[in-house]
Amino acid sequence: MIPEEDRPPAWLADYGAIEADIQAMEDFATGLAKEVDSGYGPHLDLVTASMLTPLPGAPNFPELQAFLTHHHEVQSVTYSNTYNFRDGTGQFADAAKTISHEYRGSDAFSRARVNDVDRAFDAAQPSPELENGTVLP
């Protein structure tokens, strides 16, 4: 009997089996991690340094001050997203690598379960939580 968590949704029940290519998953994980490390990582410091450039205040110009406040909020979210993309992509690659290592040399289709995938994502390093959603000074 197939556990409930591994049964396909009703609309997909008649589509048949979906098989996973474990070697392709491992190759994907390795390529993804390499691309983040070599293609995204080196530019991250340059981009975030640009975002950390302080802008002068405008205490006697309320419209400009409102713009600068909103700009700082958007800047903070963008700054967080640049790091979260790197960290989240790394988590995704780690989870794919964990699953591929666990099922290499076996009939992964018959053994892999949804819980195994969930555990692999839970075990991947989580992104650091940001205080109040902002990291800028």
Out of 44-48, 67-71, 94-98, 111-115, pick the least confident. 111-115
Percent of the chain with pLDDT over 70: 72
Q: CB neighbours of 54 closer than 8 A, spacing ≥ 6?
A: 137
Question: pLDDT per residue over 34-64, tens digit each?
Answer: 888 888 888 888 888 887 777 888 888 999 9
Per-residue buried b or exposed e for 66-99, using 16+ beta carbons within 10 Å of the residue's own CB? eebeeeeeebbbebbebeeebbeebbbbbbbbbb
**Contact call for residues 112 and 20 (beta carbons, < 8 A):** yes
Distance CA 73, CA 79 (A): 10
In degrees, rounded to 5, the angle at the alpha carbon of residue 32 between the alpha carbons of residues 90 and 136 is 40
pTM flag (> 0.75): no
